Amino acid sequence: MPSVLKGNFKTEKTVEVHDVVDDSIEQRFEKEALKHLGGSVCFVAKKQVDWGSEKDDGSKKDSD
Partner 1 sequence: MTEGDFGLQLLERMNELTLLRHGGTCFKNAEENRQHIKKGESLVQLRKLSKNSAIGSGASAIIIAAGPSVRKQDPASQIRASGYQGAVICTDSATSYCLRSGLIPDLIVSVDPQPSIIRWFGDPELSRSEVEANDYFRRQDLDERFIGKDEIQANDELLELVDLHGKKLRIALSTTTHPQVVQRCLECGAQVYFFNAMHDDPDQEGSITSKLQQENGLPAVNAGGNVGTLCWVMATAVLGKNPVALTGIDLGYYEDTPLQRTQYYDAIRSLVNEEEVGRFFMKIHNPHLDQTFITDPAYHWYRDAFLQMVLDEPSETWNCTEGGILFGKGISFRPLAEFLSKFEAMGEALPERKGAA
Q: Summarize as ranges the residues that interact with partner 1 (CB under 8 A).
A: 30-31, 33-56, 64
Least distance in angstroms from the C-beta of 38 to partner 1:
3
Whole-Å CA distances, 17 to 11, 20, 61: 13, 9, 47
Least distance in angstroms from the C-beta of 43 to partner 1:
4
| Residue among 41, 63, 42, 38 nearest 52 (CA) | 63
Least distance in angstroms from the C-beta of 55 to partner 1:
7
C-beta of 19 vs 64, nearer to partner 1: 64
Type of residue numbered 3: S
